[in-house]
């Protein structure tokens, strides 16, 4: 019951003319929430009505508050006929339910109509009075924060990362109801919009409940999708990562105290943000030096890495008897001259950070043994442990593991392991992680399954479609179960793949579907990884959050401890035990029992651990990674024709095609990667789209050269008809072309790893001399000198061989052009046009090797639909068309954005679809960010360091200052900042391998945060006077106003809202998250030609969507959307009827950011105005 | 095989100045692509014709969508659909309201009616400006005219505020509105040598001195219409030519002042009566709307042409008019000093501007 929603309708402007006679409108507004409706008076004959209504109050359950949107309908009063609707505004009030997010929604909202688009604007004020509900059986989850951002949001720090949460909600699609015949499309589209808004609210609430159950307070990496299954209904599903986040301010004081108590910048300070204050006391208790030795030992054990796509596909429509799994395993290795490179002096502190839990041999064995077949994988219900049990467990296993590692270490490792393994799905939707969280990366794991939609609905009903005649409600209960089961299968498969890679977790996890008529391909993919236990809670699903949190903190303390000890060893000269930057490249699985064939070499950074020759991942480039040169966007594109089919036959045909598609995509990716002289892929996203007559595959990733991995060799071309001279010549020509391209690319991407060892003396000292010689003398480790033990494969091992992606393995990267197919491949390989000068592109958050971003920012969406005029195309023909389509689209983007040069297209996200038989649709969303060319690369790093150092020195002087302030206003959520993880991301300098600055950074940031707060209030004050001058505007003083910067037009009341798919804004600091934006719109037209054809129609629709997103963000008081994405863009047309329809779903996080330059400008003011404050805070 | 749909939408609306100009000039997409190709963007950016076409189409579409807002520039700053930086907005507006001198000379002083609009194809053919561009310019004139027609306050200021135009452009529009309202004849052959800027200058003079607003600035229509009272008063000036004594006195005063100062003194002396009659007659007839329309023709025929045929220089004209004006003040029996000053001030600056050597 506990919530009072208040809404006030202030005014309207730019309304459309509804009365032709007078050229005016008699507008009034209906405000509806749930079943309650209020109306304003009619404001006669005005296009800019002033209603200035009373406060409409709704007393509602917080459950409803979460589910329902506030519906505002603007109508034209008509005395004689029915009132005409002008348009609607849906306001998601969820952001108001979090105490830390927005407090009021106030601003101009575009009035939207599905037929006419935006028709004027309405100014609305919304507030919520929420009473706290402590009922443990409550159905609401108010207060759980949601973030689309797939890393820990910038002004928070992660206390715990609980893990995977998922939920789905099903309903019938109003569009497909029988009633469709008697109502207009407009009515059904509006019903659809309303329903989806409701469903996503419900979904979010349910996920929130799960999070609360797990003891978390936030969902990070929240990914919500719609499956428009057509006749069979509408599925809204979401996945995310439950976390316990702490506003950076809350442990601030403790951290400062700690900082002050440590005279030297030691490890502890760095770790402190991760430790809850209570943990600090525990640290000092264990300090036996034994641990350091043992952890070093265990480092030695940590083994090799693969780089593989590890995929499985299933065809599990109902007829097939049980799951038939196909799995592709692949190993791509090659002999490459190991180019030694040191990443600069390894910083002791970093080393310690990293070292905590490298998998020991015993662990690897265990994991490979746990590489069970699907059926064996326990479909666990969550295991509920009593609060004390984990501890016992750890103790027991700690003893057994003691031989390899110190008891504590083992205990901790065991803890991580068990914590993660006890979980049903140890999945994380995150792609960026707090430092030292990601220990090792195994490779990409993916699984797909093909489903038939209408049959699976309710097994009880058999194959009939008659369910539609029955009461729908009797089905909705079963419905989510079925869908849940589908995804469950897929996730189990992913989990087992990860285990096979010796990994206990999957990161960068995502799920997607492609639907064509009744066939649906479900896909899931992620990156197998080993994580540090630092942020991971034990598996106990205790309702007593406090208790479980306590336990966790004990373990955290343990981890701290281990590292604290390492810190001491560092001072003894062991600091190079594990160079920080390369750790994640080291293989997590057992070298002697590899899950797939791969070539391992010693890591080129630390030279101690094995690394694979190529690494594929779905995550972002870890901040600590050492990357040589710059990266680039790499895409594999593929089209496969398919016969038209129906039902099961169709599904079978598709599932038969899938493995080949995936295999070829993978080969193409690998070849393109080699062609660019790179050795790792990040942010890999493989999309398979199904149409009636074809399958489209698009794999996008960012290629980089990881310094730790061996340099890739060239590509060799071999022909199979050796005696033909002209043929030989042809081949050698081609070979030359390829070699030239590789050379050119290396130059373009600045890939020139130093040829000589330049390890710093410390690192050198510790390396076994013999080993060094080996590396120098023969940088190419003999690939086959190691015995490769294939993972025993109980399930259809023949299939594995058939689909072994490592076919080219024996002659690494030899392309055999014995048929036209291969020639085609090579051609396509070479036709990928290089990016024009001044441009870079990637699909990850940022481009490795570029550090000095300017504030130039341009987010865009581009959509193209291509019609294939000839239906009887060959695969090659289709491939070429598809390839050209993507290439041309990219070229167009480069041309469009040429004024931003030098610039980088970041987070380039392609969505491909086959909307109709002969149509291919490609939608791209990305952000172009310009950077400063003058100080690129190394210089950038240095300057970054310099500014940081400068900040540090400044900070040393100012250290008193934040302390005092924080004492003065400890309750203010904005008051201060603390936390390395959050800080390290946005600062370019964080990429520099040195970490000892981080402790300073903490302090800097806290100080900066303080100033920012101050700046904010100051600005607000000054604007207030300004806005009072604007008498004409009825907008009440709101935060949006206070943020209105001088950038906006003097006469304009529009806040400039930046949008970006990235989680940060270069050159700016995000100071507050205001809530998630998740919007769904449908637009239709019956006068397509008049609106400028399909292009004109979609153009204005996308512009309208942007406008509505911006308006909602501004109303929340924000000035940017981060992690923006367009999840869905379904476009349908019927040119003959002059009709078209489009449906778009977008999401992102609304934030307030402040320019760093503005911050710099404020300190003097703040300080001068702050004398009083400091005197108050003296007591701290 | 064809691209069915091709859209690019940026959070900040991307607009290329060059393409905007092509759009404003009324080019078709294909013509614009041709122009751009010749301009060399392709080589600059390694683009293909396809890319150029796609970009041009896209931008043309954007402009078309913006056009509605540009017609009401105040809305452009307040709308939510396009996020355009303020400097860009100003550029868009300024260029949208810019007009070609060649075009404006054709319609200056004409009634901004449908009939005139129908004749725009002739104008287009004559000036080489595309019909589309002609229509935009014509509609701009008409729109500005309609809005300011009903507003109180200074004309230029109204235009500047309503259409967010830079000062110079606002002045030009004020001139256009003023000419259209008073239907001044500008198209006659004898006036062909005058540029729009000449007329705009004269309009400025008239607006600042001869309208109601010049005296009282809170009257409706004050800047668009000439001050009727003033026009009535001008009839009184007739005495300067009707009274023979006064005319001779005036002449001798002027001649005394001019003697030895100019080479064309003799011509001045002989022509004095003619010229003076011309100018005073113009003044006396201005109550008649028909004669208002012919104001500029009369100036040319009655003053400028005779001077030209006698090869006066601009300095001569200036000298003559200065003394001609001043001498009248010394005439004892001449009582209409204020009217005379108000009249001659404008006449002098107009003639000087229109006197092309």
CB A420 within 8 A of CB A428: no
Which residues does chain A have within 8 Å of residue B14's beta carbon, measured at their own beta carbons? 858, 860, 896-897
pLDDT digits (tens, 9 = 90+) for B129-163: 999 999 999 999 999 999 888 787 788 888 998 89
Contact criterion met (CB < 8 Å) for A861 and B9: yes
Query: pLDDT band at residue A782, thresholds of 50, 70 and 90?
Result: very low
Query: pLDDT band at residue A54, thresholds of 50, 70 and 90?
Result: very high
The answer to whether residue B83 neighbours chain A at the CB level (below 8 Å) is: yes
Alpha-carbon distance values, A1144 to A228, A913, A1101 (Å): 12, 14, 9
CB A300 within 8 A of CB A307: no
Q: Which is more confident, A861 or A854?
A: A861
**Which of the residue ranges A93-107, A310-324, A883-897 has the most confident prediction, judged by mean pLDDT?**
A883-897
Mean pLDDT confidence for A490-495: 90
Least confident of A216-220, A461-465, A659-663: A461-465
| Predicted local confidence at residue A220, as pLDDT | 92
Query: Pairing state of beta strands A615-616 and A627-641?
Result: unpaired
pLDDT digits (tens, 9 = 90+) for A810-819: 334 555 555 5
Query: Best interface-test mutation with B: which of A1100, A1108, A1110, A1111 has the largest number of B CBs within 10 A?
Result: A1100
pLDDT digits (tens, 9 = 90+) for A1106-1161: 999 999 999 999 999 999 999 889 888 888 888 888 999 999 999 999 887 766 65
| Predicted local confidence at residue A709, as pLDDT | 86
Tokens at residue A478, please? Answer: 């079963």
| Predicted local confidence at residue B67, as pLDDT | 92
Contact criterion met (CB < 8 Å) for A891 and B57: no
Mean pLDDT confidence for A210-223: 89
Mean pLDDT confidence for A554-558: 33
Which residues does chain B have within 8 Å of residue A920's beta carbon, measured at their own beta carbons? none
Query: pLDDT band at residue A699, thresholds of 50, 70 and 90?
Result: very high
Residue A988 φ then ψ, to 5°: -60, -30
- Residue A556 CA to residue A157 CA, distance in Å, equals 14
Q: Which is more confident, A138 or B225?
A: B225
Query: pLDDT band at residue A1083, thresholds of 50, 70 and 90?
Result: very high
Mean pLDDT confidence for A1048-1073: 79
The answer to whether residue B77 neighbours chain A at the CB level (below 8 Å) is: yes
Contact criterion met (CB < 8 Å) for A1095 and B86: no
| Predicted local confidence at residue A593, as pLDDT | 67
pLDDT digits (tens, 9 = 90+) for A271-285: 333 333 333 323 232
- Residue A997 CA to residue A15 CA, distance in Å, equals 56
The answer to whether residue B337 neighbours chain A at the CB level (below 8 Å) is: no
Tokens at residue A79, please? Answer: 């005395």
The answer to whether residue B49 neighbours chain A at the CB level (below 8 Å) is: no
Contact criterion met (CB < 8 Å) for A862 and B12: no
The answer to whether residue B14 neighbours chain A at the CB level (below 8 Å) is: yes
Q: Could you identify the residue written with the tokens 């896909």?
A: A523
| Predicted local confidence at residue A871, as pLDDT | 60
CA angle (A1037, A1041, A1043) in 5-degree steps: 140
Contact criterion met (CB < 8 Å) for B79 and A14: yes
**Which of the residue ranges A56-60, A129-133, A588-592, B38-42 has the most confident prediction, judged by mean pLDDT?**
A56-60
Query: For B78, which of A1054, A1056, A1094 is closest by C-beta distance?
Result: A1054
The residue of chain B nearest to residue A921, with distances taken between CA atoms, is B5
Contact criterion met (CB < 8 Å) for A1095 and B14: no
| Predicted local confidence at residue B296, as pLDDT | 92
Chain A, chain B: beta-carbon pairs less than 8 Å apart: 151
Query: Best interface-test mutation with B: which of A11, A874, A884, A891 has the largest number of B CBs within 10 A?
Result: A891
Query: For B47, which of A858, A895, A1096 is closest by C-beta distance?
Result: A895
| Predicted local confidence at residue A877, as pLDDT | 81
Contact criterion met (CB < 8 Å) for A14 and B86: no
Contact criterion met (CB < 8 Å) for B85 and A1047: yes
| Predicted local confidence at residue A231, as pLDDT | 73
| Predicted local confidence at residue A267, as pLDDT | 37
Q: By CB neighbour count within 10 A (0-12 exposed, 13-18 middle, 19+ buried), where does A277 fall?
A: middle
| Predicted local confidence at residue A1027, as pLDDT | 34
Mean pLDDT confidence for B230-241: 86
Mean pLDDT confidence for B280-306: 89
Mean pLDDT over each residue of chain A, to the nearest integer: 67
pLDDT digits (tens, 9 = 90+) for A639-682: 888 888 887 888 888 888 888 888 888 888 888 888 888 889 99
How much helix, strand and coil, in percent to the nearest 5, is found in chain A? 40, 25, 35
Contact criterion met (CB < 8 Å) for A867 and B2: yes
> Residue B82: CB partners within 8 Å, gap ≥ 6?
A1103, A1107, B13, B62, B65, B66, B69
Mean pLDDT confidence for A716-739: 73
| Predicted local confidence at residue A628, as pLDDT | 85
Tell me the HSE value of A500 on the side-chain side, using a 13 A CA sphere: 33
Query: Pairing state of beta strands A716-718 and A814-816?
Result: parallel
The answer on pLDDT for A1032 being more than 70 is no
The answer to whether residue B330 neighbours chain A at the CB level (below 8 Å) is: no
| Predicted local confidence at residue A345, as pLDDT | 35
Mean pLDDT confidence for A448-458: 68
Alpha-carbon distance values, A428 to A529, A549, B34 (Å): 10, 19, 52
The whole-angstrom distance between B338's CA and the closest CA on chain A is 42
Which residues does chain A have within 8 Å of residue B50's beta carbon, measured at their own beta carbons? 888
Tell me the three state secondary structure of residue A84: strand
Mean pLDDT confidence for A304-311: 35
Query: pLDDT band at residue A916, thresholds of 50, 70 and 90?
Result: confident
The answer on pLDDT for A190 being more than 90 is no
Among residues A923, A1072, A953, A1090, the alpha carbon closest in space to that of A1009 is found at: A1072
The answer on pLDDT for B75 being more than 90 is no
CB A602 within 8 A of CB A853: no
pLDDT digits (tens, 9 = 90+) for A398-449: 333 333 333 444 444 455 555 565 667 889 998 888 877 888 888 899 899 9
Query: pLDDT band at residue A118, thresholds of 50, 70 and 90?
Result: very high
Largest CA distance in chain B: 91
Mean pLDDT confidence for B33-52: 83
| Predicted local confidence at residue A159, as pLDDT | 85
The answer to whether residue B10 neighbours chain A at the CB level (below 8 Å) is: yes
Query: pLDDT band at residue A162, thresholds of 50, 70 and 90?
Result: confident
Contact criterion met (CB < 8 Å) for A1051 and B57: no
Query: pLDDT band at residue A75, thresholds of 50, 70 and 90?
Result: very high
Torsion of CA B295, B299, B302, B307, to 10 degrees: 180
| Predicted local confidence at residue A646, as pLDDT | 82
How much helix, strand and coil, in percent to the nearest 5, is found in chain B? 70, 5, 25
pLDDT digits (tens, 9 = 90+) for A600-628: 888 887 777 888 888 899 999 888 888 88
pLDDT digits (tens, 9 = 90+) for A507-552: 999 999 988 888 889 999 999 988 887 676 543 333 333 333 333 3
The whole-angstrom distance between A431's CA and the closest CA on chain B is 25
pLDDT digits (tens, 9 = 90+) for A807-840: 333 334 555 555 555 566 666 666 677 788 888 8
Query: For A1049, which of B16, B52, B89 is closest by C-beta distance?
Result: B89
pTM given for the model = 0.76
Among residues A1078, A688, A1084, A1148, the alpha carbon closest in space to that of A882 is found at: A688
- Residue A681 CA to residue A527 CA, distance in Å, equals 11
Query: pLDDT band at residue A743, thresholds of 50, 70 and 90?
Result: confident
The answer on pLDDT for A1030 being more than 70 is no
Which residues does chain A have within 8 Å of residue B66's beta carbon, measured at their own beta carbons? none
| Predicted local confidence at residue A999, as pLDDT | 35
Alpha-carbon distance values, A958 to A951, A955, A1000, B57 (Å): 10, 5, 12, 56
The answer on pLDDT for A457 being more than 70 is no
Which residues does chain A have within 8 Å of residue B51's beta carbon, measured at their own beta carbons? 888, 891-892, 895
Which residues does chain B have within 8 Å of residue A1102's beta carbon, measured at their own beta carbons? 7, 9
pLDDT digits (tens, 9 = 90+) for A725-735: 777 777 787 78
Contact criterion met (CB < 8 Å) for A864 and B48: no
- Residue A216 CA to residue A223 CA, distance in Å, equals 17
| Predicted local confidence at residue A935, as pLDDT | 52
Query: For B81, which of A859, A1056, A1103 is closest by C-beta distance?
Result: A1103
The answer on pLDDT for A1104 being more than 90 is yes
Least confident of A347-361, A1009-1023, A1076-1090, B226-240: A347-361
CB A89 within 8 A of CB A48: no
| Predicted local confidence at residue B243, as pLDDT | 83
Which residues does chain A have within 8 Å of residue B13's beta carbon, measured at their own beta carbons? 1103
Contact criterion met (CB < 8 Å) for A867 and B77: no
Contact criterion met (CB < 8 Å) for A895 and B51: yes
The answer to whether residue B39 neighbours chain A at the CB level (below 8 Å) is: no
Contact criterion met (CB < 8 Å) for B5 and A863: yes
The whole-angstrom distance between A1051's CA and the closest CA on chain B is 7
């Amino acid at each position: 019951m506990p919530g009072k929603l208040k809404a006030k309708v202030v005014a309207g402007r730019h309304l459309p003319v509804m009365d032709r006679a007078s050229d005016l409108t008699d507008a009034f507004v209906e405000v509806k929430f749930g079943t309650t409706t209020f109306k304003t008076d009619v404001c006669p004959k005005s296009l800019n009505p002033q209603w200035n209504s009373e406060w409409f109050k709704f007393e509602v359950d917080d459950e409803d508050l979460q589910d329902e949107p506030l519906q505002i309908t603007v109508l034209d009063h008509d005395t004689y006929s029915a009132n005409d609707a002008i348009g609607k505004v849906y306001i998601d009030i969820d952001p108001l339910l979090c105490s830390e997010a927005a407090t009021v929604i106030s601003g101009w909202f575009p009035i939207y109509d599905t037929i006419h688009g935006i028709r004027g604007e309405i100014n609305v004020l919304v507030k919520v009075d929420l009473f706290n509900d402590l009922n443990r059986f409550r159905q609401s989850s108010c207060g759980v924060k949601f973030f689309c951002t797939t890393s820990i949001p910038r002004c928070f720090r992660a206390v715990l990362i609980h893990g995977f949460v998922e939920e789905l909600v099903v309903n019938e699609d109003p569009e497909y109801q029988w009633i469709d015949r008697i109502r207009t499309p407009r009515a059904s589209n509006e019903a659809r919009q309303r329903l989806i808004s409701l469903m996503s609210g419900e979904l979010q609430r349910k996920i929130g409940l799960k999070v609360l159950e797990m003891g978390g307070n936030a969902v990070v990496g929240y990914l919500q999708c719609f499956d428009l299954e057509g006749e069979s209904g509408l599925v809204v599903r979401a996945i995310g990562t439950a976390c316990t986040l702490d506003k950076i301010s809350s442990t601030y004081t403790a951290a400062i105290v700690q900082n002050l108590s440590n005279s030297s910048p030691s490890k502890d300070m760095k770790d402190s943000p991760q430790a809850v204050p209570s943990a600090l006391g525990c640290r000092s208790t264990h300090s036996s030096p034994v641990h350091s030795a043992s952890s070093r030992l265990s480092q030695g054990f940590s083994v090799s890495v693969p780089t593989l796509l590890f995929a499985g596909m299933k065809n599990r429509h109902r007829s097939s008897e049980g799951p038939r799994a196909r799995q592709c395993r692949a190993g791509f290795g090659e002999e490459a001259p190991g180019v030694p490179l040191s990443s600069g002096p390894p910083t002791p502190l970093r080393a310690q950070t990293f070292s905590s839990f490298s998998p020991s041999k015993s662990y690897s064995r265990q994991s490979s043994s746990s590489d069970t077949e699907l059926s064996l994988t326990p479909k666990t219900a969550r295991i509920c442990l009593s609060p004390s049990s984990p501890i016992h467990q750890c103790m027991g296993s700690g003893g057994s593991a003691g031989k390899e590692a110190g008891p504590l270490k083992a205990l901790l490792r065991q803890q991580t392991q068990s914590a993660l393994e006890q979980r049903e799905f140890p999945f994380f939707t995150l792609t960026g992680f707090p430092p030292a969280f990601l220990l090792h990366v195994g490779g990409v794991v993916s699984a797909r399954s093909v489903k038939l939609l209408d049959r699976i609905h309710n097994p009880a009903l058999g194959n009939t479609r008659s369910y539609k005649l029955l009461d729908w409600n009797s089905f909705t209960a079963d419905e989510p179960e079925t869908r849940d089961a589908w995804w469950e299968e897929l996730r189990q498969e992913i989990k087992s793949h990860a285990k096979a890679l010796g990994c206990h977790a999957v990161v960068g996890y995502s799920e997607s579907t492609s639907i064509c008529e009744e066939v649906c391909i479900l896909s899931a993919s992620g990156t197998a990884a080993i994580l540090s236990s630092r942020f991971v809670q034990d598996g106990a699903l205790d309702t007593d959050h406090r208790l479980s949190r306590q336990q966790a903190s004990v373990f955290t303390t343990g981890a701290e401890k281990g590292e604290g000890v390492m810190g001491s060893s560092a001072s003894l000269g062991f600091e190079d035990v594990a160079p920080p930057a390369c750790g994640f490249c080291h293989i997590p699985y057992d070298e002697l029992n590899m899950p797939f064939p791969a070539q391992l070499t010693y890591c080129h950074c630390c030279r101690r651990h094995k690394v694979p020759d190529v690494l594929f991942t779905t995550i972002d480039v870890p901040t600590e990674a050492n990357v040589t040169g710059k990266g680039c966007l790499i895409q594999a594109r593929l089209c496969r024709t398919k016969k038209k089919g129906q039902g099961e036959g169709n599904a079978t045909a598709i599932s038969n095609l899938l493995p080949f598609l995936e295999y070829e995509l993978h080969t193409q990716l690998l070849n393109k990667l080699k062609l660019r002289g790179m050795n790792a892929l990040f942010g890999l996203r493989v999309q398979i789209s199904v149409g009636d007559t074809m399958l489209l595959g698009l794999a996008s990733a960012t290629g980089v050269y990881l310094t730790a991995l061996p340099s890739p060799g060239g590509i060799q071309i071999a022909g199979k008809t050796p005696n033909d001279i002209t043929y030989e010549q042809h081949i050698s020509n081609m070979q030359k072309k390829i070699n030239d391209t590789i050379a050119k690319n290396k130059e373009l991407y600045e890939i020139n790893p130093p040829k000589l060892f330049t390890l710093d003396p410390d690192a050198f000292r510790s390396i076994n001399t013999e080993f060094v010689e080996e590396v120098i003398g023969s940088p190419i480790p003999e690939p086959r000198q190691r015995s490769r033990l294939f993972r025993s494969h109980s399930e259809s091992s023949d299939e594995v061989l058939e689909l072994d992606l490592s076919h080219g393995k024996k002659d690494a990267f030899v392309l055999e052009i014995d048929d036209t197919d291969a020639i085609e491949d090579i051609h396509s390989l070479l036709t990928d046009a290089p990016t024009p000068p001044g441009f870079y592109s990637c699909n990850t958050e940022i481009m490795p090797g570029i550090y000095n971003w300017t504030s130039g920012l341009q987010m865009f969406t581009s959509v193209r639909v291509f019609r294939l005029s000839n239906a009887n195309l060959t695969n090659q023909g289709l491939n070429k068309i598809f390839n050209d389509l993507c290439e041309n689209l990219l070229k167009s983007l480069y041309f469009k954005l040429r004024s931003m040069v030098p610039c980088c297209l970041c987070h380039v996200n392609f969505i491909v679809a086959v909307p109709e038989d002969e149509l291919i649709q490609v939608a791209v969303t990305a952000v172009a960010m310009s950077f400063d060319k003058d100080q690129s690369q190394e210089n950038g790093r240095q300057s970054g360091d310099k500014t940081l150092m400068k900040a540090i020195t400044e900070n040393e002087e100012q250290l008193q200052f934040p302390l005092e302030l924080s004492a003065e206003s400890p309750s203010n959520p904005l008051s201060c900042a603390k936390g390395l993880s959050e800080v390290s991301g946005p600062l370019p300098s964080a990429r520099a391998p040195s970490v000892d600055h981080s402790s300073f950074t903490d302090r800097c940031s806290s100080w900066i945060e303080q100033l920012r707060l101050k700046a904010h209030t100051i600005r607000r004050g000054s604007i207030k006077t300004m806005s009072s001058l604007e008498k004409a505007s009825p907008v009440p003083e709101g935060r949006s106003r206070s943020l209105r910067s001088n950038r906006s037009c003097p006469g304009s009341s529009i806040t400039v809202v930046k949008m970006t798919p990235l989680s940060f804004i270069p050159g700016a600091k995000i100071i507050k998250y205001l809530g998630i934006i998740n919007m769904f719109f449908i637009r239709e037209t019956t006068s397509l030609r008049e609106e400028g054809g399909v292009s004109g129609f979609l153009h204005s629709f996308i512009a309208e969507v942007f406008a509505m997103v911006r308006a909602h963000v501004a109303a929340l008081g924000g000035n940017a959307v981060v992690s923006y994405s367009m999840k869905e863009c379904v476009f349908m047309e019927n040119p003959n009827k002059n009709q078209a329809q489009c449906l778009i779903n977008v999401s992102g996080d609304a934030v307030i950011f402040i320019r760093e330059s503005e911050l710099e400008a404020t300190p003097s003011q703040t300080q001068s105005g702050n004398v009083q404050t400091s005197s108050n805070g003296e007591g701290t | 095989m064809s691209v069915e749909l091709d859209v690019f939408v940026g959070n900040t609306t991307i607009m290329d100045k060059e393409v905007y100009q092509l759009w404003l000039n009324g080019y078709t997409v294909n013509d614009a692509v041709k122009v751009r190709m010749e301009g060399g963007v392709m080589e600059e950016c390694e683009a293909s014709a396809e890319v150029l076409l796609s970009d041009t189409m896209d931008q043309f579409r954007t402009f078309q969508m913006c056009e509605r807002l540009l017609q009401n520039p105040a809305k452009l700053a307040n709308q939510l659909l396009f996020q355009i930086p303020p400097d860009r907005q100003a550029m868009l507006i300024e260029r949208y309201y810019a007009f070609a001198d060649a075009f404006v000379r054709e319609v200056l002083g004409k009634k901004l009616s449908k009939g005139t609009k129908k004749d725009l194809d002739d104008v287009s053919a004559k000036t080489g400006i595309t019909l589309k561009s002609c229509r935009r310019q014509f509609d701009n004139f008409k729109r500005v005219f309609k809005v300011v027609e009903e507003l109180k306050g200074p004309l230029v200021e109204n235009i500047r505020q309503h259409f967010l135009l830079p000062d110079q452009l606002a002045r030009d529009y004020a001139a256009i509105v003023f000419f259209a309202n008073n239907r001044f004849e500008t198209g006659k052959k004898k006036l062909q040598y005058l540029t729009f800027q000449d007329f705009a200058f004269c309009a400025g003079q008239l607006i600042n001195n001869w309208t109601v607003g010049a005296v009282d600035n809170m009257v409706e229509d004050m800047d668009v219409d000439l001050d009727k009272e003033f026009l009535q008063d001008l009839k009184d000036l007739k005495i300067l030519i009707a009274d023979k004594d006064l005319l001779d006195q005036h002449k001798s005063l002027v001649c005394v002042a001019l003697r030895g100062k100019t080479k064309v003194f003799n011509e001045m002396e002989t022509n004095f009566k003619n010229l003076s009659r011309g100018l005073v007659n113009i003044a006396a007839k201005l109550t008649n709307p028909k004669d208002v329309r012919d104001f500029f023709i009369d100036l040319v025929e009655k003053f400028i042409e005779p001077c030209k045929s006698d090869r006066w220089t601009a300095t001569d004209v200036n000298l003559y008019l200065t003394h001609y004006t001043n001498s009248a003040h010394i005439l004892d029996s001449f009582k209409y000093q204020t009217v005379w000053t108000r009249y001659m001030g404008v006449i002098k600056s107009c003639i000087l501007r229109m006197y092309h050597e």
